[in-house]
Amino acid sequence: MDRFQAMQLFARIVELGSFSKAAEQQGMSRASATALIKQLESRLGVRLLQRTTRQVSVTLDGRSYYQHCRSVLGEIEEVESVLSQNARHPRGRLKVDLPASLGRLVVIPALPDFQARYPEIVLEIGIGDRMIDLVREGVDCVVRIGGLSDSTLIARSLPALPQVTCASAGYLARHGLPTSLDELQGHRCIDYLSATTGRLAPLEFAVDGRIETRSLPASLAVNHGEAYVAACEAGLGIVQVPRYHVERQLAAGSLVELLPQHPPPALPMTVLYPHHRHLTPRLRVFIDWLVTLFG
């Protein structure tokens, strides 16, 4: 029995909750995976997994063994990376998850630079705004915009994203251009519902070193950044978005910046990765590249 292979397989079964998916990722048949886990359980003298026709669950002994497996596997990868040329020439597959607009408008257009620097790193990029389980889905890191809830993940801050208040030229032609916070009275906004908390994000403005909020009536609420900007372009109201998301429209004049003397606060941005992933060379250089890109 290849104990290293067995540990890798067992860890992926726990993370994916599936023999079939774990076996496929490890390049073996389900029957071979089942036999290898049985050999591992026989060697250890304990039951690691409870298997039914519908699901796989980990036992208490299995949970303890999994934690040790993740630590050992992470340390092996780290040592091999340091001692091999991977430390100077990172290689391998890196699975990343990005917010939709950030990936489409900023990160992906800049990837030729990353690939020129690190041609042996293969990126697998997921695009979306849903919350994901990094461990279960085998993701190396995610980029998140906004405040973070309590997390067991390791977090590294990225440069904050400047925001802008804006509305469409058509909307302003109908309702007028507000030049002060008081002149917002009578205007409408588009409500943004946080995809993670479900709460409305209020309009915020910097005033003499403090942040003030304004509540405006809205006839539409959305929970996705692309829809939020599209609704603004359709003339449905005022929005506050990261500047990168509307840079093209502002330059073209289809959207107009409002109240630049009272800018919204910049949005915090963070890259997160699981404790057991460690900072492998390929993950380290990707995070460093993101810091440079957003800086």
Confidence grade of residue 237 (pLDDT, cut at 50, 70, 90): very high
Please check whether residues 131 and 150 belong to one and the same domain.
Answer: yes
38-58 pLDDT tens trace = 999 999 999 999 887 677 888
Cβ neighbours of residue 293 under 8 Å, at least 6 residues apart?
106, 107, 110
CATH number of the domain residue 140 falls in: 3.40.190.10
Instruction: Compute the average pLDDT of residues 225-237.
Output: 95
What pTM, to 2 d.p., does this model score? 0.69
**Three-state secondary structure call for residue 77:** helix
Please check whether residues 111 and 53 belong to one and the same domain.
Answer: no
Please check whether residues 63 and 98 belong to one and the same domain.
Answer: no
Rounded distance, CA 159 to CA 293, Å?
A: 9
Tell which residue, 195, 247, 192, has the closest CA to residue 216. 192
Tally of structural domains, the chain: 3
Among 29, 51, 83, residue at a domain's last position: 83
Rounded distance, CA 231 to CA 247, Å?
A: 16
What residue has token string 């910049």? 266
Please check whether residues 73 and 200 belong to one and the same domain.
Answer: no
* Owning domain of residue 150: 86-158+268-294
CATH number of the domain residue 50 falls in: 1.10.10.10
Among 83, 104, 120, residue at a domain's last position: 83
159-175 pLDDT tens trace = 999 999 999 999 999 99
Among 48, 83, 118, residue at a domain's last position: 83
- Mean pLDDT, the chain, as a whole number? 88
Please check whether residues 173 and 53 belong to one and the same domain.
Answer: no
Please check whether residues 14 and 44 belong to one and the same domain.
Answer: yes
Please check whether residues 47 and 133 belong to one and the same domain.
Answer: no
